[in-house]
Each structure stands twice: as structure tokens, then as C-alpha cells.
Structure 1
Amino acid sequence: MLAMTDINTIKNLRNNHDKSINHIRRELNVNWRTAKKYADGEYLPQKKNRSKSGMMYDEEWGDILTLWLSEDAKLSKKKRRTNVAYHRELKTIGFPGSYRTVCMFIQEWRSTHHHEGSIDKGFERLEHPPAEAQLDFGTMEVEHEGAFKDVKTLVMTFPYSNAGFAVALPAENQECLFEGMTQLFHQIGGVPKVIRIDNMSTAVTQTKSRYKPAILTDAYLQFATHYRFDTQVCNPRSGNEKGNVENKVGYIRYNFFPTSPSMKDYPSLNEQLKQQLQEDRNRLHYEKNRFIEDLWKEEQGQLLTLPETPYPVFKEIECKANKYNEIKLDKTLIHVPMARNHSKIYGVLTAETYSFYSGSGILIAEGERPYMLKNRPIDWGVILHDWRKKLQSMKYSRYWKYLPERIKFYLDHQDWKTQEERLNFLLSLLVIQDMKQINERFYELIGAESHSENYEVDWNSYDRLGFLSKEGS
């Protein structure tokens, strides 16, 4: 086929300069039939016939092989089948073609599927492709063992479907980050292809700038390599670049932590979060007019598979004891008896625990990390004073659910005067002890014997006791 400039020259010589076919042939050094074709014929654009034929397209073999290629693309390289294996397995189900036919089809498929796990039937072009996630921490408040406690909630969202997942953790350090991400991967049943994060110090050692890319920490790179996901780091002070997860953090805080839920422990709280977020997916997507759960099931099939071996989450540090046999961890001094007797001390840290070892590997101390014990006491004195002003509304207070059951039942009396007297008595006890101690010594303090059922106490005798003590004062 001649170039378009040559075709245009032939037309020009023939129509505008009245040249013969032989003249054109000699002038341009082309075949006479070629000169005749383009000089006197109509050269119009034609639609190309793009339909393909052959056993890989006309029969089921192409669909079968495409399915296998899509499934294997989600696995690590060493788990994917070779061309020989594909041909061998096709042969076992009756494939009549050659190995070369299989290789040519695979080569063509891979040339149009650049990303691992690309779906065969395709998606419309979107700003947020399937299986790409965003990650961020948020601080939530819970009630734990009679006190308020801040928990760090790691939230992962998938903007394509707007599905969200979250786990509560005690801190935002690297061990908690890896532990939280591991739990999230198991919740969603796979690994996102790409995770977008901000410049968190637990993952980024050098923040992204206008001229230089972000540099990730070695530990984070090792974690990401194990799970095979790519990381995108946002520009500094650009929360809008991960706006989906920023919004989801607020959504979780205002919908699932509005009045500081009671937490027994982290596993139970995370199971509760999991169930709530799963139920939350049964609503329409804010733009696509489809249920989030349906979009998530569609997106879930594009995730990378979990590795067979889970990533071991721990951190090793070298410690030094001061002259008081104290080791500083998480900005807190921990007393370790005889610590200075060891020339070297190593620490092994997990998200929740620490273990100190001597240089010879002998365990010398272990326990919960200091931040596990941090909390803020509930100011029951102020709360009970407020309740005394509005006795009829006491049971509807946001703090009512935090009371121990026996004290809750003790205050739940039909007579308002009795309620006020009992509130006053509790206020007097709170001067020298906290609510947890009052609950533990409850029967002793009210002068009643402990019963198998908390609600079998003779409250009338207690009320008389309280009245007499009041008269005596």
C-alpha cells in the first residue's frame, strides 16, 4: 500500500495536470496497475474487519484460557501456571490445538491486560479503579473497665464501591499499623492492588516533595513486598488526595462511636465494628445508584490473594537500663529487677506486649505496653451532681450505661426521694474511692451480705442504714 502522500501525488498528476497512466508510472516508479488503481479509482476509508476466527475465538477454549489467566494474574509469579501447563491442562479436557496456538493467544491476552488481575469484561473508566484502597488512622473514644480510653482506629476504604473496613488498635506505631493492616486483609479476604497513604512516619522515612518521591521505610517495604501491594503516598498537606477514607473516618466516628461504646477488649470491639460496617454496606452508593454490597462483591473479585504465610508482626530493639534498673519504653519508665546486671538487653515488641531478653536470650521481663494501661477516669462526681438535678432523666443519660449493673439497679428506684438519697450516698463514697472500688466493696459498704444474685439485696434495710448515718452526722 502506498503512503498517503504518494496517493495524493498520483491524483494530482492525473486530475489537475492531465497526465497519462504511463507518465505517472515512469514519474513515480510504480507498477502500472498500481498507478491506474489510485489515479482513476475511488480511495475511501473502509472499516476494518476486527472479528477474529479460529478455535480460540469460535469455540470455548479462548474463554476457558482467559478465565485461567485472570485467576492466575491475582497470584504471585511463582504460583502462576506456565504456557506449557496451560496447554497440558487444555489437552486433558479435549483441546485439539497446538502449543503454538496457546502461546499466541496468551501473548495477545497479556498485551491488552497490563495490570495483574484485570477483569476480562472490563469496567468503565473511573477515577478510582477496583481493588485500590485508601488507608488512614482516626482517634475514637471508648469506655473500658470504668474509664474512658482513646483507641486508634485504622480505616481502609475502597472508593470504587465505597466499602469501608476498620480495626481498633491501642496506638499508631509501626507494630500496630502492620497488625491492623493484616487484620484488615483477612477481613476483606484479599489484598488491594494499590494502597494510598499519607506521609505517616510509620511508613515514610522521607516525605514526598515537589522534586523528589517519598521514601518508604525498609520495614514497610518488606511488609508491602510480602503482600504484593503497591503504595501511593499523598503530597504533604493534601488530605483531599485520600478524601474517601478521610470521610469514612468521620462517618465511623459519628455513626459507630457517638457516645463512647463500652469495650470489653480489642477483639470483641473489632468484631462489633466488622458487623456494623458489613450491615452498613446494605445502602445505595452515593453516586452509582447501586447497593454498596453489590459493588463490593464485584470489586472483591479483583483483590490479590492472601499469601499462605502470614506476616510476623514484631519489632526488635536494643535497650539500656538506667541506674534505677528502669528501661524507657513508649515514653514510660518500666522497672526491670536486676536489669543493670546484664551487659546487653534486647526488646521484642508487638502491638500490645513487650518482652525483654538478656544478651544470652534469657527472658528477664514481659508485660503489656504502657499505652495499654492509659485511660481517663470518668468524673462520676460531676455526673451524679447533674443527675441529682434531673432525677427523672437520669436513666437516659449517655453515662448511665457505664455504671456497674448492681449500682445501676440500686439507683433505679421508683421513689425520687430515695433516688436522691442514694445519689448523695454514692457522692460521699466517691470522695475517698472510685466507682470501681465502690462496685467491688458494694455489699460491704451498704451493710448487706453478698448474694448469688446481685438484685436480692434488701434495699429497705440499706435505706434505713443510710438514714441513721445521716442523722448521726
Structure 2
Amino acid sequence: METVLKIRRMHQVDGQSINAIVKVTGLSRNTVRKYLRQPPSEPPKYRRQQPAKPKLGEFEPTLAQWLDLDAQRPKRQRRCAKQLFEDLQRLGYQGAYDSVQRFVRDHKKQPVKTAAFVPLTFAAGEAYQFDWSEEEVEIGGVVQRVKAAHFRLIHSRQPFVMVFPRETQEMVFAAHDAAFHYWGGVPRQGIYDNLKTCVDQVLDGKERRFNPRFLALMSHYVIEPVACTPASGWEKGQVEKQVQDVRRRCFTPRRKVDCSGQLNPDTLLSRFSASAGGSPSLC
């Protein structure tokens, strides 16, 4: 209403032309003419910015809940607007797809509430982080992919890496045994991803149903296993960074060996320790 009053004042009081008003206000000539022609007592008629969504109204809470849940999942597992529209139809929604698409677009524009994280500190020998990585090597002239088991002591940041042909449970156990022998002791806590060889089912929060054989390994070494939140790599950021460092220092360019037994020798140990500036820690 303030804009209409301003236009009328400029035209009737100040005597400005329509072209002059258009330059000042940035409105179109047709809009200025419309505001000047309508009676002063009649409120201006604005074009509705968004069409009404009467059929979507009762489904908006459900759709918002779905979007909030999808936001916590990895991007590959999030549903697009078309999939959400089809899921709403199964619940009885009979409206148009455009209404769902607009709702999804507007919901994504809302500010995201980010959680604050406090850096964790650990005592010496208290905890380690574990992760796998896939590396490309050339064995006997044949390019192959191997698995590297990464360990990282959180307090001292001492790494340990061992290469295997696969990522089976037996190799998980062998990697742990080698790491503990190398360190000369066993930490009290281990931090893991939700590996299939370690975790059978992800429950609410930090609750997990661990694999019985993996629990037997933890019981043997008296270690408390802790599983990270899905898609939350920062919870074991040290070993995540170690994966990138080892790949750059030991497997780039592609490492060439005559047999698989040469992937864990002293030559590879010295290569990593020299570039890292620390004691040999790749085994």
C-alpha cells in the first residue's frame, strides 16, 4: 500500500510523468498505470506468489519429517522430489507433483541447524582408530587392488598400516594382532566404522549389535569397541587423514612389486617414515 501511495503522490502532487516514476521505482509502465487508475479507497491487488496447496496441506508434516530424516542420510540414500511424491501417493495424496516439488525446494532453503563438536582428548594408550582403504598396486606386471588396514593411536598419533589382498574378518583379526605386537601393548578402546565384519546391526544412537566373532577378539584383548555415527568421518578424523597421507607417500605413483609379500617389507617402512619424519610405522 505504501508503494501505491508513493506513486500517486509522485504523479498527482509532484507532477512527474509515468516514465519518470518507472525510473525511480523500477516498476513496469503497466503496473504504474494500474495503480494510478484504481480508486484510492481500493486496496491494491497483488499477484499471489505461491499457489495454494489445499491437497498437500495435511501431508506437509509427513513430508517435512521425511526430508529431515533424509538430511541425516548419505546423499546417495536421499529421496528426490519425484520419489517423495510417489510415496505420498501411496498414503492417499491426490494433489499435483508441482506442489510437492515446491515444498521440497522451500524446505531445503531453510537454514540448517549445525551441531557443535568439542575436540576429544585421550590419555596415552587409551584409544586407537581403525579404518580400511583400497589401494592400487602392480604385482608381477598385473595391476591389482589391495586393502590396507590402518591403525592410529590417538594420543601419540603413532600409525600402523598393513596390506592385505582382501577385507575379510580373518584379515581384520590378523591386522589387530600385528598392530598390538608392533605397539607392544593394547589400548583400552577402539574406534571403528560400522564395518560388516565388525557390526551386524546399527541401532539407535551409539548402540550396535557387534559380530560375535569380533566381540570375541575384543574380549580376548579386553578392548571396548566404539562404533562411529554413520556418515560421520570426523569422529575418527586422525585415521581418515592417515589414509590420505599413506596413499600419497607410499602408493603414489603406483607401487610395483614382484610378489604380494613385498608389500609389507622394510623398504616400504622406510619410504613412509622418511616422508612422514617419524619412526618406521608401516608394517
Shift of residue 267 of structure 1? 3.6
Superposed, 1:266-305 pairs within 5 Å as 266-271=260-265, 272-280=267-275, 282=277
Distance 1:281 1:260, change over 3 A: closer
C-alpha displacement at 1:189, in angstroms? 2.1
Rg larger for: 1
CA-based RMSD: 2.2
Give the whole-Å Cα distance in 1 for the aligned partners of 2:218 and 2:227: 13
In 1, Cα distance between equivalents of 2:184 and 2:272: 15
CA contact (8 A) 2:132 2:147 kept: yes
1:181 is aligned to 176
* SS of alignment partner, residue 262 of structure 1: strand
1:228 correspondence with 2:222? yes
Q: 1:142 aligns with which of 129, 137, 141?
A: 137
CA distance in 2, matches of 1:225, 1:129: 21
Q: For residue 194 of structure 2, what is the aligned residue in structure 1? A: 199
Any residues of structure 2 matched to 1:23-172 within 5 Å, and which?
A: 127-131=121-125, 132-172=127-167
Instruction: Give the Cα–Cα distance (whole angstroms) in 2 for the partners of residues 128 and 238 of structure 1.
Output: 19
What are structure 2's unaligned runs of at least 5 residues? 1-118
What is the distance in 1 between the residues matched to 2:253 and 2:198? 32
Asked if the contact 1:208/1:236 (under 8 Å) is kept, the reply is: no
Q: Is the 8 A contact 2:250 2:272 kept in 1?
A: no
Distance in 1, matches of 2:182 and 2:257, equals 20
SS in 1 for 2:179: helix
Whether contact under 8 Å (2:249, 2:271) holds in the other structure is no
Contact 2:135 2:247 in 1 (8 A): yes
1:388-403 equivalence runs, <5 A: none
Where do residues 244-255 of structure 1 align in structure 2 (5 Å cutoff)?
244-255=238-249
Given the two structures, how large is their TM-score scaled by the length of structure 1? 0.32
Structure 1: where are the runs of 5+ without partners?
1-124, 284-292, 297-473
Q: What TM-score do you get using the length of structure 2 for normalisation? A: 0.52
Task: Classify 1:136/1:175 alpha carbon distance in 2 versus 1 (closer, same or farther; 3 Å).
Answer: same
Take 1:161 and 1:278, find their aligned partners in 2: how far apart are those partners? 15
Match of 2:251 among 230, 238, 257: 257
Give the Cα separation in 2 of the matches to 1:146 and 1:191: 38
Structure-2 residue corresponding to 1:362: none
Residues of 1 paired with 2:250 and 2:214: CA distance?
30
Relative to structure 1, the CA distance from residue 178 to residue 161 in structure 2 (aligned partners, 3 Å threshold; closer, same or farther) is same
Shift of the alpha carbon at 1:275?
A: 3.5
* CA apart distance, 1:192: 2.0
> Which deviations, in whole Å up to 9, do the C-alpha atoms of 1:35-67 show, x marking residues without a partner?
xxxxxxxxxxxxxxxxxxxxxxxxxxxxxxxxx
Which one of 209, 214, 218 corresponds to residue 215 of structure 1? 209
Opposite residue 165 of structure 1, the aligned amino acid is F
CA shift, 1:234, in A, is 0.6
TM-fit CA distance, 1:170: 0.8
SS of the aligned residue for 2:123 comes to: coil
Letter in 2 for 1:162: R
Distance verdict in 2 for CA 1:278–1:192, change over 3 Å: farther
**Displacement of 1:227 after TM fit?**
1.6
**What is the CA deviation profile of residues 304-361 of structure 1, one whole-angstrom value per residue up to 9, with x for unaligned ones?**
xxxxxxxxxxxxxxxxxxxxxxxxxxxxxxxxxxxxxxxxxxxxxxxxxxxxxxxxxx
Q: Report how far residue 223 of structure 1 moved.
A: 0.9
